[in-house]
Amino acid sequence: QVQLVESGGGLVQPGGSLRLSCAASGRIFNINDMGWYRQAPGKERELVARITRGGSTNYADSVKGRFTISRENAKRMVYLQMNRLQPEDTAVYYCNGQINAGDWQFSDYWGQGTQVTVSS
């Protein structure tokens, strides 16, 4: 009933930029933290960036200064602006949200992922 849908992935050259978007929909009473994670082939899923409902952020060291996470609470949207992309940023990027779906608790929900490929 709760869905997170990512968009904005694709192929980009090193040094380029992409903006990922994630829309939350369905039976949602409230959303706490939202975030972006990524998983490269043969590696574990890792945190890229997270943002609280109030706008506090934290980033993986590897993306600090290059990526910016933001959100629009009224639209139930979270974004990831990625600049100065490097080949090692290549991965499937997943949106995550801590969502209260009306069952008196916050649970983790995940999107289906969007592929980001950085290559010349």
Structure confidence by residue, pLDDT tens digits, 45-57: 999 999 999 999 9
- State which residues of the chain have pLDDT below 50: none
Asked if 30 and 100 count as a contact pair (C-beta separation under 8 A), the reply is yes
Q: What pLDDT was estimated at residue 5?
A: 97
Q: What pLDDT is attached to residue 28?
A: 94
Length of the chain equals 120
Rounded to whole angstroms, how far apart are CA atoms 118 and 9?
10
For the sheet with 2-7, list strands across it. Answer: 2-7, 18-26, 77-82, 67-72
